[in-house]
C-alpha cells in the first residue's frame, strides 16, 4: 500500500447465503486494504440463522475480521426516521473505529460510505463477474451448485441414508449410488471400528461408533456433489445398541432424532446371507427389518423399500433418488 497509515476496509452484507459473488467481493476488498472487517446483518425472520452465516464466513476467510451485528436494524430508510444514524453507530462500533473504504456491489454503498466518512469502492455492481444472488441460491441450490462455496454446501446438500439389516447390500448400494450420481459415499463407521477390534463389540464402543459416524458424514459433506449418500446413520446405531445391550445413551437417541435425511432407502432381506466377522443376526433379519421400518415410521421419515435382484435394487434406488430430487 502507498498510504502512510494502514488502510482499513468494511464489507456489509446479509450473506443469505454466502456465494461466489460474495467471495469475489470479500477477496477484492481484503486485497485492496491492509485490514478488513466483514459485518453480517441478520434478522430473526430470515431463513438461515445469522450465527451460522457468520461461522461460514469465518471459516472461509480466516484472515478477515468477521462480526455479526448486534440486534436488528431497520432495512430501509422509510422504516425508521433515524435510519442512517442507527447504521452509522452500529457499524462504527462493529469496526472499532473509522474505516477508509467501504466495498459494496449495490448502490446503497454510496450513501453509507458518506455516513462513515469513507471512500466508496464499487465492486461488480452489474453482477457481471459472478452473476448470482442469494435468492437464486436459496430457490434452486442444486442448480447453482458450482457457485456455492465449499463451506456452505453441506447446508444445501441432499442427504440419502441407506438403511436396513445386515447383509442386504447396503455398502455396495451406497457406493454404486455415489458413483452413479458422481458424488461422495459415507462409509459405515461401525464396520471400521469393529473390524479394528477383530469383530468384538461392547457397550462402551457405542458412543465411539456414533461419534465416528457423525464425524465421517459431516466431514465428507463438504465434498458432496449435490447429494451425500450415507451407509447407515445414528438411528442404526441406536437400534443396534438397544438390540445388543438393551440400552442406548440418551444423547445418541437425541442426535438420531435431530439429524435429518431427505430420503431413506430401506434394504429388504430377500437376498442371501453372507458371513462376516462384523455380522451377528443371521436368523433374525426379517424381524430386524420390520423393526427398522418401525423406527423410520415412528419418526415420520420418508423411506423407499429396496428389494429384488442386485440390479433391481440399484435401479429402484436410482429412481427413488431422482424422484426425491424432482420434488
Higher pLDDT, 283 or 162: 162
Fold of 8-138: Rossmann fold (3.40.50)
What contacts 217, CB < 8 A, 6 or more positions away? 159, 186, 228, 230, 233
Tell me, what's the pLDDT at 282? 55
Q: Which three cell numbers stand for residue 89?
A: 453507530
Q: Mapping DSSP to helix (H, G, I), strand (E, B) and coil, where does residue 28 land?
A: helix
In 136-277 the beta strands, taken as DSSP E runs, fall at: 158-163, 184-186, 227-231, 263-267
Which residue ranges does the chain devote to CATH 3.40.50.300? 157-326
Q: Mapping DSSP to helix (H, G, I), strand (E, B) and coil, where does residue 247 land?
A: coil
Residue entry with cell 438397544? 242
What residues pair up with 158 in beta bridges, in sequence order?
227
Which residue ranges does the chain devote to CATH 3.40.50.620? 8-138
Question: For 5-60, how does the pLDDT look when each residue is reduced to its tens digit (9 = 90+)?
Answer: 899 999 999 999 999 999 999 999 999 999 999 999 999 999 999 999 999 999 99
Q: What's the 3-state SS for 251-295?
A: HHHHHHHHCCCCEEEEECCCCCCCCCCCCCCCCCHHHHHHHHHHH
Write down the mean pLDDT value for the chain: 93
Q: How many CB atoms lie within 10 A of CB 109?
A: 21
Question: For 155-179, how does the pLDDT look when each residue is reduced to its tens digit (9 = 90+)?
Answer: 999 999 999 988 899 999 999 999 9
The CATH homologous superfamily for domain 157-326 is P-loop containing nucleotide triphosphate hydrolases (3.40.50.300)
Residue 81 has φ and ψ, to the nearest 5°, of -65, -20
* CA dist list (Å): 212 to 6, 34, 190, 215, 256: 46, 41, 8, 5, 13
**Orientation angle between helical segments 50-60 and 20-32, nearest 10 degrees:** 60
As a whole-number percent, the residues of the chain with pLDDT over 90 amount to: 83
pTM over 0.85: yes
As a whole-number percent, the residues of the chain with pLDDT over 70 amount to: 96
Amino acid at each position: 500500500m502507498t498510504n502512510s497509515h494502514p488502510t482499513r476496509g468494511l464489507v456489509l452484507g446479509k450473506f443469505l447465503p454466502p456465494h461466489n459473488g460474495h467471495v469475489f467481493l470479500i477477496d477484492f476488498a481484503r486485497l485492496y486494504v491492509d485490514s478488513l472487517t466483514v459485518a453480517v446483518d441478520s434478522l430473526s425472520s430470515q431463513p438461515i440463522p445469522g450465527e451460522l452465516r457468520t461461522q461460514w464466513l469465518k471459516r472461509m476467510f480466516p484472515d478477515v475480521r468477521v462480526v455479526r451485528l448486534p440486534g436488528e436494524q431497520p432495512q430501509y430508510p422509510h422504516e425508521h426516521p433515524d435510519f442512517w444514524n442507527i447504521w452509522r453507530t452500529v457499524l462504527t462500533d462493529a469496526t472499532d473505529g473509522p474505516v477508509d473504504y467501504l466495498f459494496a456491489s449495490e448502490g446503497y454503498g454510496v450513501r453509507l460510505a458518506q455516513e462513515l466518512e469513507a471512500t466508496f469502492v464499487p465492486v461488480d455492481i452489474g453482477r457481471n463477474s459472478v452473476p448470482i444472488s442469494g435468492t437464486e441460491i436459496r430457490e434452486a441450490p442444486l442448480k447453482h451448485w458450482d457457485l456455492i462455496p465449499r463451506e456452505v454446501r453441506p447446508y444445501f446438500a441432499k442427504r440419502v441414508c441407506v438403511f436396513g439389516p445386515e447383509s442386504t447390500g447396503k455398502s455396495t448400494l451406497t457406493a454404486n449410488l455415489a458413483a452413479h450420481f458422481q458424488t461422495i459415499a459415507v462409509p459405515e463407521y461401525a464396520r471400521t471400528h469393529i473390524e479394528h477390534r477383530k469383530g468384538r463389540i461392547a457397550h462402551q464402543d457405542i458412543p465411539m461408533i456414533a461419534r465416528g459416524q457423525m464425524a465421517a458424514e459431516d466431514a465428507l459433506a463438504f465434498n458432496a456433489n449435490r447429494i451425500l449418500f450415507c451407509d447407515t446413520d445414528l438411528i442404526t446405531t441406536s437400534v443396534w445398541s438397544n438390540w445388543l445391550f438393551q440400552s442406548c445413551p440418551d444423547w445418541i437417541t437425541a442426535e438420531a432424532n435431530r439429524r435429518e435425511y431427505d430420503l431413506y432407502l430401506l434394504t429388504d432381506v430377500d437376498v442371501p446371507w453372507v458371513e462376516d466377522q462384523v455380522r451377528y443376526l443371521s436368523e433374525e433379519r426379517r424381524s430386524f427389518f420390520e423393526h427398522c421400518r418401525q423406527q423410520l415410521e415412528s419418526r415420520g421419515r420418508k423411506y423407499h423399500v429396496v428389494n429384488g435382484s442386485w440390479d433391481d435394487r440399484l435401479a429402484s434406488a436410482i429412481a427413488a433418488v431422482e424422484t426425491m430430487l424432482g420434488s
